[in-house]
Amino acid sequence: MDKKTIGILGGGQLGRMVVEAASRLNINTVILDAPNAPAKQINAVSEHIDGSFTHYESIVKLAEKSDVLTVEIEHVDADALKRVKQKFPHIEIYPLPETIKLIQDKYLQKEHLIQHDIEVAESIPVLDNTEQALLEVGEKFGYPFMLKSRTLAYDGRGNFVVKSSDKVGEALEFLKDRPLYAEKWCPFVKELAVMVVRSLEGEVFAYPTVETIQQDNICHLVIAPARIPDTLAKKASILANNAVKSFPGCGIFGVEMFLLPNNELLVNEIAPRPHNSGHYTIDACVTSQFEAHVRAVAGLPMPKGFTEFSTTSTNAIMLNVLGDKDTADKELEICRRALETPHATVYLYGKTTRPGRKMGHINIVSSSMEDCENRLEYISGSTASLPA
């Protein structure tokens, strides 16, 4: 296709699925992460870098082998990336280091979105981590409110629901010395998500609006399309496009949203990378989120409609496969049932099992949502017989 080599900071499952998409286009990828990271396992080149995506010298080593740098995680050293751009001006870095830096701090991300007229939950910074400061938040927002770490948050590990004034001590203990902000509680009826890919020219392409269902703060299911009226789905899509237009550079973004009881939509947070809510695109859309990202950062064509469902009657459900809480590898039974199920595809990430760890996912695709739901029941073990 093209002789560009893409260097990826991070070699988890997202990097692994980018590698898969790139390799189909004869695009080389090199990975910076720990030895035997999931993305390295399926990419038999010797150039991979063993090291950390938060370490300047390691990023320089990756840059020396790359024409384009990208990330599969936003918790990289963004300042190091800015220095790398100065040292190697010919290397493209997408998302832009400035975008990564902004998004890394969830409170700065919110301020940025507000400046661009994107609706978000009302938020205030917590300037000192004291009970008094949290009680003042409680007076302003009422209870419950959400206390969040501004940085290094994922899978709920950075959030604490402050249910009442006598819980502020516990909240501070939980989030210790992290930089904090508080968010007004959003009594959402559904959580929605939209993947958006942005070309270097600034054109945005939204994937379908989907519904995400979290369990213990981790994505459990994705329902595509979202079971909401078309007008709302369209509104979500426009909101996501507008949010992503506010970030220069190019690549794929995941936009998480809350749908409130009055049908108002608020952006929760944005990820500047492939996202768990977009895994369904591998089997349900013309182009997967991973290939869309590769096309964007490599400057390949992005034709009209390339992010749409493969057919006008495509429905999909994605189920995350998490490490079983009690018995090592028991989650493989879910995968086994999925293999027995028509219209289901299993993706495993090559990780060692741990309770609650994201081990893989399953995509179910059919022309009816009811059919997807019946198949999900069998796969998740809530019915013993395979649907007809």
| Site of interaction with ligand ADP (CB under 6 A) | 121, 146, 148, 153-156, 158-159, 183, 185-186, 191, 214, 217, 256, 268-269
377 binds, among ligand ADP, Mg ion, Na ion, none (CB under 5 to 8 A by kind): none
CB of 148 to Mg ion, least distance (A): 10
Residues 6+ apart with CB under 8 A from 360: 13, 320, 321, 331, 335, 346, 347, 348, 349
CB-wise, 91 or 186, nearer to ligand ADP?
A: 186
What are the distances in angstroms from CA 165 to CA 48, 132, 139?
50, 10, 9
Minimum Å distance from CB 218 to Na ion?
11
Judged by beta carbon, residue 25 or residue 154, the one nearer Na ion is 154
Q: How far is the CB of 258 from Mg ion (least distance, A)?
A: 11
Q: Which residue is nearest to ligand ADP (CB)?
A: 186
Please state the closest distance from residue 269 (CB atom) to ligand ADP, in A: 5
The residue assigned the tokens 């459990």 is: 220
Q: Do residues 267 and 123 touch, judged by C-beta distance below 8 A?
A: no
Q: Which two tokens stand for residue 11?
A: 């070699």
Q: Which of 222/364 has CB closer to Na ion?
A: 222
Closest separation in Å from C-beta 235 to Mg ion:
20
Q: Strand pairing partners for 285? A: 309
Half-sphere exposure of 316 (CA within 13 A, CB side): 29
Q: In whole angstroms, how close is the CB of 149 to ligand ADP at the nearest point?
A: 9
CA distance linking residue 257 with residue 244, whole number of Å:
13
Of 112, 83, 68, nearest in space to 248 by CA: 112
Binding letters toward Na ion, positions 128-167, x by CB under 5 A: --------------------------x-------------
Q: Which string of x and - marks every residue 245-284 that binds Mg ion (by CB under 5 A)?
A: -----------x----------------------------
Bridge partner list, 122: none
Distance of CA 333 to the CA centre of its chain: 26
Query: Hey, is 320 helix, strand or coil?
Result: strand
- Residue 186: name its binding partner from ligand ADP, Na ion, Mg ion, none (Cβ under 5 to 8 Å by kind): ligand ADP
Q: Is 50 helix (H, G, I), strand (E, B) or coil?
A: strand
Task: Choose between 121 and 210: whose C-beta lies nearer to ligand ADP.
Answer: 121
CB-based contact 232:314 (threshold 8 Å): no
Nearer to Mg ion, 47 or 122 (CB): 122
Residues engaged in binding Na ion (CB under 5 A):
154
